[in-house]
Chain A
Amino acid sequence: MEANDVLLNKVAQEIFEQTAYLTPRPEGTPSMPKRPDAMARATVNFTGPFPGILQLEVPSDLLPILASNMLGEDETSPEAARQGQDALGELANIICGNLLARMAGPEPIFHLDAPTIENPARPVPDVPANKYRAYTTLSLEIGWASLSIALNPVETPA
């Protein structure tokens, strides 16, 4: 089982390109918004051979763009505005499913919970350090996205 920043970045790039038609830029450090209410976060909890949590966070003003790209709608359309948060959740769901397959191989079965969406109080990662496994940030054509995956810690004998 492998979980690292490089793999998370690679899978996230692929899904953003294929699903949201946004190409991550290799250079540059994305500038993060200062206001927490300017961010949106999707969280996917999963269970299986190793349970854990994946989080995907973007600036809120990216939501209608994600939805319009995924749905083929104009980003100013009511449909794009309506579907923004759901589109973020679906992206997180697809990234999580594909990442787990790369980590665990082709046999194990995972169950992914429905994504939850919130406006976070602080940037990811906000999981305890001992649970942290991988973190990455994508600089997109428009905006940025940050992702983390944390696995529940394996209990070791005292």
Chain B
Amino acid sequence: MEPLKVLVVDDSSSMRAILKKILRLTGLPLAQIFEAGNGLQALELLAQNAIDLVFVDLNMPEMGGMEFIGRVQSDPKLANTIPIIVVSTESSQTRIDEILAKGMGFIHKPFTPEQVCEKVRTVMGGASHGSE
């Protein structure tokens, strides 16, 4: 597997730092980890870099996670090419079902490093990577 470029999107800098630390524990080859504080910044990074995996929060200022996912999925260059894992306190089964139906992964906060590692392995197992 080629070293991965990962994008972590969360308005909390501490949550981004936690996810970055866990990512380094997964054993996945990592080329670079990008950070964004909202969906708009994330879209700019996606346009400029061949990202292989995205972690995204739902509730963020400027552009939230659901709108970000919608924008990615409506972009012919990005749709169905980048695995996206939603990391959120969201507990509404309606909303979680909506996320899963879009083909996203979902991790509920709080989470353990093991849960993140397992989800990454699951979504990367069948993904078509942007940098391949």
Contacts and interface: CB of A to CB of B under 8 A. Distances in A.
A90 interface: yes
Given A106-B91, A113-B59, A89 B18 contact: no
Interface of B: 11-15, 17-18, 21, 59-61, 88-95, 109-110, 112
B110 A114 contact: no
Nearest to B13: A86
B59 A114 contact: yes
Nearest to A18: B110
Contacts of A100: 91
A15 B110 contact: yes
B123 to A, nearest CB: 22
13 contacts: A18-B110, A71-B17, A71-B18, A83-B14, A86-B14, A89-B12, A97-B91, A98-B109, A106-B91, A108-B92, A109-B92, A111-B59, A113-B59
Given A94-B110, A114-B60, 9 more contacts: A18-B112, A19-B109, A83-B17, A97-B88, A97-B109, A107-B94, A110-B92, A112-B59, A112-B89
A56 interface: no
A55 B92 CA distance: 22
B12 A109 contact: no
Interface residues of A, number: 30
Contacts of A112: 59, 89
B111 to A, nearest CB: 8
A90 B14 contact: yes
Interface string A98-130: 101100001111111110000000000000000
A70 B89 contact: no
Across the A-B interface, the 5 shortest Cβ-Cβ residue pairs: A97-B89, A101-B91, A87-B14, A18-B110, A90-B12
Nearest to A86: B14
